[in-house]
Amino acid sequence: MNAIETRSLRKVYPAPAVKKKRGVPPPPAPPAGGIVAIDALDLTVAEGEFFGVLGPNGAGKTTLIGILTTRVRITAGEAFVAGADVTTRPADVRRRIGVVPQRPNPDRSLSVIENLVFHATYFGIPRADAHRRGQELLERLGIADKMNAKVDQLSGGQQQRLMIARALSHDPRVVFLDEPTVGLDPQARLSLWEILRELHGQGRTIVMSTHYMEEADQLCDRLAIIDKGKLLALDTPAALKRKAPGDTLVEVTFDGDATVAADAARAMEGVSNAEARGPLLRVFSKRGGALIPALIDAGEAHGRIVRDIHLSRPSLETLFISLTGRKLT
């Protein structure tokens, strides 16, 4: 059985109402029919898979996780989690999932251990069992010494661990994490990675959204790259990296429009693609750094002066740029 399946999933948020003010020109009209956050999305996640959803801010990651965790209504299409339809059987879905939110939202009126115990009782787990399990989880996540502390006494990283412990307190089959490492310092991020690997090792299905390439690359079995609600690519990180065009991305920033330089670059040997975005010239080429003098000359021939040069080896990042024309972060 698949852990997750979506068919032609679509989510449209109603366009925000625009207030008319006298004497003030109306702002640009919102798109007719609302804002499309998820569009024609077909996904299948196998049981036990570590699945990553990669995309920039506003790509639809949070909406997708919101739908799969029964917190966002579907506009069209279907979604199943752990075999249950999120629309017709949301309580059954909730029974089988654990959710780690983007921003920690612990119950601040309760202590650390109480957060876990009460949460487990919301799932019908007897108090004594909930307490034992809560203690185990806090130990495993390395915050057992904070057991009786108030939630406000925890650091950001510790609160994030508490959220993971809470998500696990009813032993879910599928764990959702929405950008879990945003705002964590590098050390806390690495130790969170360890925790996630361990969870995966236990055979749980993990669905994690992120906009960090490295994180997706390191942790995930498979990755879905989404932007503007659409699925752009879906494969293992290694296969996706092989799909990255050219060998190296050369980015040259000029002091003015780069269109003429892009035209010149396209004619150069070994260039697979070149495009201009305002003053930024992006060239995909096997020749990598060896191309730089020619690119500088191409700009200078039209009176453009180079302000910045950047080389990126083929990676998920360069693939993403070639797919969307945008950077992840």
Distance between CA atoms of 193 and 186, rounded to whole angstroms?
A: 11
Q: Is 198 helix (H, G, I), strand (E, B) or coil?
A: helix
Bridge-based pairing of strands 271-277 and 280-285 is: antiparallel
How far is CA 264 from each of CA 214, 284, 301, rounded to the nearest angstrom? 33, 13, 10
Q: Which residues from 147-186 bind another protein, rule CB under 8 A? A: 166
Stretch that binds another protein, among 64-72, 136-144, 191-199, 238-246 (CB under 8 A): 64-72
Residue 48 or residue 256: which is nearer to another protein going by CB? Answer: 48
Looking at the DSSP bridge assignments, the partners of residue 4 are 45, 81
Q: Which residues from 10-39 bind another protein, rule CB under 8 A? A: 13
Hunting for tokens 């699945």 — which residue is that? 51
46 binds another protein (CB under 8 A): no
Distance between CA atoms of 130 and 111, rounded to whole angstroms?
A: 14
CB-CB neighbours of 197 under 10 Å: 13
Q: Answer for the pair 6, 77: CB distance below 8 angstroms, yes or no.
A: yes
Residue 4 or residue 276: which is nearer to another protein going by CB? Answer: 4
Q: Which of 21, 108, 202, 293 touches another protein by CB under 8 A? A: 108
Q: Which residues from 241-280 bind another protein, rule CB under 8 A? A: none
Q: Is 241 helix (H, G, I), strand (E, B) or coil?
A: helix
Distance between CA atoms of 175 and 209, rounded to whole angstroms?
A: 11
Q: Which of 29, 32, 91, 238 touches another protein by CB under 8 A? A: 91
229 binds another protein (CB under 8 A): no
299 binds another protein (CB under 8 A): no
Closest separation in Å from C-beta 88 to another protein: 12
Q: Which of 66, 229, 237, 314 touches another protein by CB under 8 A? A: 66
Stretch that binds another protein, among 70-78, 227-235, 251-259, 260-268 (CB under 8 A): 70-78
Residue 111 or residue 312: which is nearer to another protein going by CB? Answer: 111
How many residues of this chain interact with another protein, rule: CB under 8 A?
Answer: 40
7 binds another protein (CB under 8 A): no
Distance between CA atoms of 219 and 300, rounded to whole angstroms?
A: 44
Closest separation in Å from C-beta 201 to another protein: 22
Q: Answer for the pair 310, 289: CB distance below 8 angstroms, yes or no.
A: no
CB-CB neighbours of 216 under 10 Å: 24
**Nearest by Cα to 207 from 110, 326, 67:** 67
Q: Which of 36, 49, 53, 69 touches another protein by CB under 8 A? A: 69
Region for residue 114 given its phi and psi (left: phi exceeds 0; alpha: psi -120 to 50; beta: otherwise): alpha
Q: Which of 38, 60, 68, 119 touches another protein by CB under 8 A? A: 119
Stretch that binds another protein, among 66-74, 212-220, 251-259, 288-296 (CB under 8 A): 66-74
Stretch that binds another protein, among 81-89, 257-265, 269-277, 298-306 (CB under 8 A): 81-89
Secondary structure element (H or E) that encloses residue 174, with its range: strand 174-178
Can you give the binding site for another protein, defined by CB under 8 A?
1-2, 5, 13, 66, 69-73, 80, 82-84, 89-92, 94-97, 99, 101, 103, 105-110, 114-115, 118-119, 121-124, 166
